[in-house]
Amino acid sequence: MASALLGIEGVTVTEAEEEADGRLSVWARITGPAACPGCATISERVHEWVVTRPRDVRYGGREICLFLVKRRLECAEEDCPQGTFTEWAPQVPPRCAITRRLLEHAGNEVAGRGITPAESARHNGISWPSVHGAFAGQADEILGDEPGQVSHLGIDEHRRGRPRWRRDTDTGETVQLADRWHTCFYDLSGNQGMLGQAEGRTSDDASYWLAGATPAWRDAVRVVAIDMCTIYLSAVRRMLPRAQVAVDLFHVVQLAVKAVGDVRRRAIREKYGRRGKAGDPEYGIKHLLEQNLENLSPDNFAKIIETLDSDRHGQQIALAWIAKEKLRDALNIRARITGSTPCGRQVRGRLFAFYDWCAQNERVTELIVLAGTISRWEDQIVTAVITGVTNARSESLNRIAKLEARHAYGFRNPANQRRRVRIACTRGTRRNKPSPTAKTTHIVTMQQHAPG
Ligand SMILES: [Zn+2]
């Protein structure tokens, strides 16, 4: 029964004892016939007895000191070069210091539960390289195969570490040594999570990764979602000429909200000759101006109108605020909000109303700059509104990537970082596919004792 509780195939428990420090000492020996690894002959000639102490998983939270007694046997075959050999079991192969199930458990803790190899090593009483090796083996098996085809691809940048600076001793200037970035590729339409990472964040870095994919994979990409970043736009143009590019609409609205803030700050400075502070009516509505029009309560709406209608400074802010809402009008006809897919002409029509408004109020220079930026990205905005593809999933996975780096207190090794981040981003999706080796169940039978 004790052997069944220990649950190591081919190992029989002979004695178990509780130590003063709460640990459990378990004495066990390997059972069954032992075959020579050289010639596979079964031998019974005992050369000596050895006691090994492999690390094993905890038992109900308690640490186990496993004393494994093994026989060293002499090979019975006369001309076998092996000489002697020790007994072994699948969980405790020759020369093993850690049971296979502990390695599997430690690797699982990192790959599946997201704790760091260092933390797992501490808890399990084994070394960092052992845990990392077990994790890398599991992770590479999951991540190893080429990414499957995706129709919607997300590209985003991710800072992989602090920038490093050095002071030049001759000139006294501060020189940047390294600014470490990763370009990340995400599956936005399926459940593959992060597809891969490339070191650096230039157009060439992104193109290089895309060039590594098969032509069939590149042809399958229909829409690519990016932030408003020309670097990745040119990489997509070069490597995926047939894909449409959608710009993330969150960043478009963010740009308009920023323009409203710029106008508000300038107007306050012109009116009071100083920066805004609590008590200024224009300052008091700054968060209301950032809200979506449809989310404002009637009272708050009245408050904005009252504040902005009072003088010419307020009216400038109002012009920018209306421009923001006109831009949002164009974005809000996407299917997620209206329930029906719009056509390109509808979107461009509403964008035209926005441009028209900016042109009519050209004295607010911030609006001219905003309209210029929007018109440069018009095709990508229209694609985003029509297809409804957003970079939201990229951003959420990017957050996981940042969290992973924080848990690790930074990474020295970029390859390890990429592996850890990718496994974290695919956790719960790809890694849950059934494993090729089915677990066998051991049935424990107990003798029934008659009462009395
Ligand atoms: Zn032999």
- DSSP letters spanning 395-429: HHHHHHHHHHHHHTTS-S-HHHHHHHHHHHHHTTT
Distance 179 CA to ligand 1 centre (A): 59
Say whether pLDDT at 371 is over 90.
Answer: yes
Give the mean pLDDT of the chain. 86
pLDDT at site 428:
60
Distance 35 CA to ligand 1 centre (A): 8
Amino acid (one-letter) located at 434: P
Distance 7 CA to ligand 1 centre (A): 29
pLDDT classification of 444: cutoffs 50, 70, 90: low
Amino acid (one-letter) located at 294: E
Distance 9 CA to ligand 1 centre (A): 24
Task: Please state, in angstroms and rounded to a whole number, the distance separating the CA atoms of residues 83 and 91.
Answer: 24
Q: DSSP letters of 46-96?
A: EEEEEEE--B---BTTB-EEEEEEEEEEE---TT-TT-EEE--BTTB-TT-
> Residue 38, SS3?
coil
Average pLDDT over residues 43-62: 89
The terminus-to-terminus CA distance of the chain in angstroms comes to 22
| Rg, C-alpha atoms of the chain | 33
Distance 36 CA to ligand 1 centre (A): 5
Task: Please state, in angstroms and rounded to a whole number, the distance separating the CA atoms of residues 444 and 5.
Answer: 9
Say whether pLDDT at 440 is over 70.
Answer: no
Distance 11 CA to ligand 1 centre (A): 23
pLDDT at site 243:
92
Say whether pLDDT at 290 is over 70.
Answer: yes
Distance 74 CA to ligand 1 centre (A): 8
Q: Cβ-count burial of 379 within 10 angstroms (0-12 exposed, 13-18 middle, 19+ buried)?
A: middle
Centroid of chain to Cα 170: 42
pLDDT at site 381:
93
Distance 123 CA to ligand 1 centre (A): 40
Longest dimension (CA), the chain: 108
Highest average pLDDT, of 73-82, 112-121, 145-154, comes from 112-121
- Measured at the CA of 331, the angle between CA 330 and CA 333, to 5 degrees, comes to 80
Average pLDDT over residues 320-325: 92
Task: Please state, in angstroms and rounded to a whole number, the distance separating the CA atoms of residues 280 and 444.
Answer: 77
Say whether pLDDT at 55 is over 80.
Answer: yes
Please state the pTM of the whole predicted model: 0.74
Distance 54 CA to ligand 1 centre (A): 25
Distance 70 CA to ligand 1 centre (A): 17
Task: Please state, in angstroms and rounded to a whole number, the distance separating the CA atoms of residues 315 and 408.
Answer: 51
pLDDT at site 236:
93
Distinct helix (H) and strand (E) counts, the chain: 18, 14
Quick check: 84 and 46 in contact, CB under 8 A?
no
Residue 247 forms beta bridges with which residues? Answer: 226
Distance 83 CA to ligand 1 centre (A): 7
Query: For a pLDDT cut of 90, what percent of the chain falls above it?
Result: 36
- Extract the tokens encoding 131: 């845990």
Distance 18 CA to ligand 1 centre (A): 40
Nearest to 391 by CA among 250, 215, 244: 250
Distance 34 CA to ligand 1 centre (A): 11
pLDDT at site 448:
54
Distance 82 CA to ligand 1 centre (A): 5
Task: Please state, in angstroms and rounded to a whole number, the distance separating the CA atoms of residues 397 and 390.
Answer: 13
Helix residue spans in 144-285 (DSSP H): 203-212, 215-220, 230-239, 249-272, 281-284
pLDDT at site 348:
93
pLDDT at site 433:
52
Distance 84 CA to ligand 1 centre (A): 8
DSSP state of 119: H
Quick check: 101 and 57 in contact, CB under 8 A?
yes
Task: Please state, in angstroms and rounded to a whole number, the distance separating the CA atoms of residues 154 and 187.
Answer: 6
Distance 28 CA to ligand 1 centre (A): 25
Distance 43 CA to ligand 1 centre (A): 8
Distance 56 CA to ligand 1 centre (A): 30
Between these two residues, 387 and 2, which has the higher pLDDT value?
387
Distance 76 CA to ligand 1 centre (A): 7
Say whether pLDDT at 434 is over 50.
Answer: no
Amino acid (one-letter) located at 256: A
Distance 94 CA to ligand 1 centre (A): 15
Distance 27 CA to ligand 1 centre (A): 28
Count CB-CB contacts under 10 A for residue 16: 15
Say whether pLDDT at 436 is over 50.
Answer: no
Distance 413 CA to ligand 1 centre (A): 44
DSSP state of 430: G
Quick check: 89 and 9 in contact, CB under 8 A?
yes
Distance 80 CA to ligand 1 centre (A): 5
Distance 90 CA to ligand 1 centre (A): 19
Could you tell me which residues come within 8 angstroms of residue 112 by beta carbon, excluding any fewer than 6 positions away?
A: 427, 431
Distance 323 CA to ligand 1 centre (A): 86
pLDDT at site 370:
93
Say whether pLDDT at 121 is over 90.
Answer: yes
Distance 49 CA to ligand 1 centre (A): 18
Distance 275 CA to ligand 1 centre (A): 89
Q: Which of 88-92, 175-179, 392-396, 429-433 has the lowest mean pLDDT?
A: 429-433
Distance 405 CA to ligand 1 centre (A): 50
The angle that helices 344-360 and 365-376 make with each other, rounded to 10 degrees, is: 160
pLDDT classification of 435: cutoffs 50, 70, 90: very low
- Residue listed under structure tokens 């009637």: 298
- Residue listed under structure tokens 């996975």: 397
